[in-house]
Structure 1
């Protein structure tokens, strides 16, 4: 039987679906996945002064912080992503000055371009210093902050999937607010059917496709934005300019791993259509669908919608 459970975790809606012999068995397994996601949230959150992320940020400009191997490995992978995207992905975005881009209804005008650029001057992944021998993380400049908003949900989905597989779940889906990882098959033996959200109407889909042992992540300007002078400005900030990215409504990444899918969606948005697609086309086993502001759809060469 297929059993689903919805929980609010990491500030997002998680839906965990597993196939098992009965509801009790499925619930027990799902609870293991929920505990794993809560464990990751405690590690990565910036909203608790007990998290390792908080400690790293508190010591910015002062001293390195020793971190668990798991967190060190995640930050290492983030740094690698920053290098290959030339900074379009950068976990030091946490240092952005929030007074410019709070994306609430009170925001009625754009900030001065120079002030906006100054607001992102602490964003620079090269100032995150990793010591592999001692497993320490050091933020070179005072006021720097890291955050895992661009990769955390995908990482949690991937780790929850791993926990479920370790505990005998052969088929299921972990859906972390649209960043999802699916494995195995439906009860009828068919692959899972996944829908890609229509950026103009979030409750509907513009395309569906079948996957197994695959992950999908979508980043869209419909998630959080403001309208100024009849133009939409999304919550995705270009770390080089300090201004929101425009021109793209949504980016969907299809990959083998939910962490990678989640992490690539934002930098492709920042890069823009031409550069973003060229970048994805150089990566093996990764597909991309982009919808621009005029609802035109663009597909990477290596995407396989079957």
Structure 2
């Protein structure tokens, strides 16, 4: 674990781990190294728990059980997974299916049937399946933050590929900015935006923006799950339609950067700074 002392005698404790086929970097601010190590360990354990919950690897995984029973029978799931699927379907409906956790020749979010009374999920068509890749890392980051806050960590940053979650204040008492929380984005034109107690997702894959009027997107909300899920839909919609969608929502703010480097912020962006 990397430890860096600050001016006010707090320490920034950093640890990087691999999970979900990606990397996660967890930074916590505290003056006690032993406590920091314990708290970071609990956050890492939570990320790995979420990975096991959402993976489609292994015949005993719940995702594989759901997929195996597509077109055959509903599968009973726990409340946590039920709520995640429910939220995923809401995002799919909001984006008119651009974001969709289903795959296969008969794939469509409208063919996912939830039963709240029995806590079951049913894929109505054979040959379809569900995959949480578009939302899993964001959800894991949110859960890791929750565990850290539950255990008394009042300030920290969780980074993963394309996403940043920040809460509390920096060691000098100032709010986190995008560039200060994520060195990979410190040269971006939106790097100075405050993101304390926010989650940020940005486009990091050039192929996602191929042929688009967008060179980069930065999405902010209170949830990494939501921010990361909205990257692909907004990239596909483009600046004009993407801004219209974001402006219609109160849960999101974003900045589009066009191919000339000009920023196109959503109307709620000013409220975050």
Q: Give the TM interval when normalised to the shorter protein.
A: 0.7 to 0.9
Match of 2:36 among 23, 26, 29: 26
The residue that corresponds to 1:228 in the other structure is none
Q: 1:285 to 1:57 in 2, by over 3 A?
A: closer
> 1:197-247, CA deviations, whole angstroms, 9 ceiling, x for partnerless residues?
xxxxx676213123211110112332xxxxxxxxxxx258xxxxxxx8744
Alignment match, 1:183: 167
In structure 2, the residue matched to 1:157 is 141
Q: How many residues align?
A: 258
Aligned counterparts of 1:285 and 1:235: Cα–Cα separation in 2: 23
Structure 2, unaligned runs of 5 or more: 1-10
Q: 2 CA distance for matches of 1:215 and 1:203?
A: 14
What is aligned with 2:227? 261
Aligned partners of 1:5, 1:252: CA distance in 2, in Å? 25
2:216 pairs with 1:250: yes
In the alignment, the residues of structure 1 paired with residue 116 and residue 85 of structure 2 have an alpha-carbon distance, to the nearest angstrom, of 11
By percentage of residues, which structure has more helix? Answer: 2
Aligned match of 2:99: 89
Higher relative contact order (CA 8 A, sep 6+): 1
Unpaired runs of 5+ residues, structure 1, are: 96-120, 197-201, 223-233, 237-243
TM-score of the superposed pair, with normalisation by structure 1: 0.78
Task: Find the counterpart in structure 2 of residue 100 from structure 1.
Answer: none
Q: Separation in 2 of the partners of 1:48 and 1:293?
A: 42
Q: In 1, are the aligned partners of 2:30 and 2:153 still within 8 Å (CA)? A: yes
Are the equivalent residues in 1 in contact too, given 2:29–2:153 (CA < 8 A)? Answer: yes
Q: CA RMSD in A?
A: 2.1
SS at match of 1:88: coil
8 Å contact kept, 1:251–1:269: yes
TM-score normalised per structure 2: 0.87
**Aligned counterparts of 1:125 and 1:219: Cα–Cα separation in 2:** 24
Residue number in structure 2 paired with 1:205: 187
Between the aligned partners of 2:211 and 2:96, the Cα distance in structure 1 is 16
Specify the SS of the correspondent of 1:250.
Answer: strand
